[in-house]
Amino acid sequence: MKRICAVLAVPAVLLLAGCGIQPSGVTGGGQAPAGVAPGVTLYFIDAHSRLQPQFRQTGRLGSISEALALLLTGPGYSGLRTGIAPTTVTRVGVATTPGVTEIHVPFTANEMTSLGIDQIVCTALGVHVQSGGSRSMKVRIIFTQSTPESNKLRTCPLIR
């Protein structure tokens, strides 16, 4: 009988030894988070009518709407110009869904050049990418008047 007990005790001990969570080695856990930056990059138009990034030392990256508000206030005295009509309303609404960021701008489609639209798209996409987001995200700009332009999914020519 003693022998039987001893034999039965072996699997029991094995079972107990398998209990609980054992310490492990270091394992990889995926992409590190991003989003810190000394400032934000805005996109303006240079003398050759090309999109040109402009770095603004804001101390932090901030959100897409903050960056767009800065963009709407204009390029300042930097030799660059903007394709967006001057406005006192710099607040833009930003709604992010998976794959698409919708931006509500305080303009009609006629008040913006196509370069101006690119400025908004690139600035928004730049902040999104710097926050750790995907570069394949599309941007939809929704104007104040209903127009087919509002339904277009846009990408930035500089950020591919």
Partner 1 sequence: MTWRPWPRGLRARLVVAVVLVTVLGATAAAWASARSARSALVDSARQRLAQTVAGQIGAIAPELTYPPDQGTLDRLRAAVGPNTLVTYRNLRSADDTGTEPVTGALRSAVRARHLIATQVVTAGGRPFLLVGTPIVITAPDGARTSSGIEVYTGRDLTDVEGRVDDLTRSAAYTAALALPLAVLLALLAARSVLRPVRELRDTARRLAAGDLGARSPPQGADELADLAVTVNEMAESLQRMQADARRFAADVSHELRTPLSTLMAVVDVLATAAAGMDSDARESSQLAIAETHRLVALVEDLMEVSRFDAGTARLRLEDVDVAGAVRGCLRARGWLDRVELVAPDGVVLRLDPRRLDVIVANLVGNALSHGEPPVRVQVSVSRDQVRIEVADSGPGLPQDVLPHVFDRFYKADTARPRTPGSGLGLAIALENARLHGGDLTAGNIAGGGARFTLRLPRNQEDG
CA separation for the pair 63, 133 (Å, rounded):
12
Residue of 5, 21, 48, 86 interacting with partner 1 (CB under 8 A) = 21
- Could you say whether residue 126 binds partner 1 (CB under 8 A)? yes
Residue of 51, 80, 112, 127 interacting with partner 1 (CB under 8 A) = 127
- Could you say whether residue 152 binds partner 1 (CB under 8 A)? no
Residue of 49, 50, 93, 135 interacting with partner 1 (CB under 8 A) = 135
3-state SS, residue 47: coil
Residue of 115, 121, 130, 143 interacting with partner 1 (CB under 8 A) = 130
Q: Which residues of 19-35 are buried (b: 16+ CB within 10 A; e: fewer)?
A: eeeeeeeeeeeeeeeee
CA separation for the pair 138, 123 (Å, rounded):
12
Closest to partner 1 by CB, 25 or 86: 25
Q: Is the dihedral of CA 139, 145, 148, 149 positive or negative?
A: negative
* Residues found near partner 1 in the complex (CB under 8 A): 2-4, 7-8, 11-12, 14-15, 18-38, 41, 53, 59-63, 125-127, 129-132, 135, 158-159
